Amino acid sequence: MGKRCGRVSDHWVWCGGAFTDGRASRAVRGERARNVKSLSMDALDLMRVGPVIPVIVIDDLAHAVPLARALVAGGVRVLEVTLRTRVALDAIRAIAREVDDAIVGVGTITRAEHFQDAIDAGAQFGVSPGLTNQLIDAAQASRLPLLPGVMTPSDVIAARAAGFFALKLFPAQQAGGIGMLKALGGPFPDVTFCPTGGVTADSAPEYLALPNVACVGGSWLTPHAAVKAGEWKKITDLALEASRLRPTAART
């Protein structure tokens, strides 16, 4: 299916979930493409790489590369490293440099300056728990593919008006879970979600069965104790299980 494209301002063209600079010369676009490894993938493409995007908290920089390798070995390639620890950006930098098959992004984007920090570290996409005008401007300026968080119909309307059609429902379970996503599917048939927050290995298949869900996010693939103990085989096993998850109709 062709990508939905349209000019959203004199400057920006929205195409299939990503902004392109309508005025940029080919040379400028090439330069930007070199700075961000995977500009050809937009947020929706990223959501379709696998059924689960792990939400990762890295406390110890030494864990970054083996953890990413363990997840990739289990078939989980799209990794969201949250900006919740002081080593997060260095962890992203190390993963981007050393784990070829990983597609590493930055999570917990809450400030405009996080976009440039993330790009400088080599992040290939961003995830935010919500969306503000400042974040919209920064996302457009940075051209980092962004998966923005929404929790209400008004949030969805605002995100869509800014050109975002691939959204993270956050916190998904607390927002109403499966029922909320079914309800949102009526007024917003053109929006695809990655529910995150309170999703588990058990509940993921029901989410994945919904027509407006492309993937789910969650922290269960990287339990704190296993990461701290360097139990990489355990992480790979959890990733294997996650990468094999398939949609299952809701239990009644």
**Binding footprint of ligand 3PG on the chain (CB under 6 A):** 55, 170-171, 196-199, 218-220
Least separation in angstroms between residue 155's CB and ligand 3PG is 16
**Tokens found for residue 145:** 């593919």
Of 163 and 195, which has the nearer Cβ to ligand 3PG?
A: 195
**What crossing angle do the helices spanning 232-243 and 64-73 adopt, rounded to 10°?**
40
Whether the Cβ atoms of residue 83 and residue 106 lie closer than 8 Å to each other: yes
* Residue pair 17/10 in contact by the 8 Å Cβ criterion: no
- Give the active site residue among 31, 37, 80, 98: 80
Output 39 or 151, the one with its CB closest to ligand 3PG: 151
Taking the complex as a whole, the smallest distance from the CB of residue 1 to ligand 3PG amounts, in Å, to 30
39 vs 238, beta carbon nearer ligand 3PG: 238
Minimum distance between the CB of residue 118 and ligand 3PG, rounded to whole angstroms? 16
CB of 130 to ligand 3PG, least distance (A): 11
Nearer to ligand 3PG, 24 or 201 (CB): 201
DSSP sequence for 14-67: EETTEEEETT--HHHHHHHHHHSTTTT--HHHHHTS-SEEEEE--SSGGGHHHH
Q: CB 149 → ligand 3PG: shortest distance, Å?
A: 9
How many Cα neighbours within 13 Å face the side chain of 183?
11
Single out the catalytic residue among 168, 182, 228, 231. Answer: 168
Residue 80 designated active-site? yes
Closer Cβ to ligand 3PG, 67 or 199, answer by number: 199
Q: What is the 3-state secondary structure (H, E, C) of 164-232?
A: CCEEEECCHHHHCHHHHHHHHHCCCCCCEECCECCCCCCCHHHHHCCCCECCEEECCCCCHHHHHCCCH
Q: Which residues contact 171 (CB under 8 A, 6 or more apart)?
A: 151, 196, 197, 198
Copy the structure tokens of residue 112: 């405009």
Locate 139 and state its tokens.
């996302």
Q: Is there a catalytic annotation at residue 231?
A: no
Residues annotated as catalytic (active site), given as ranges: 80, 168
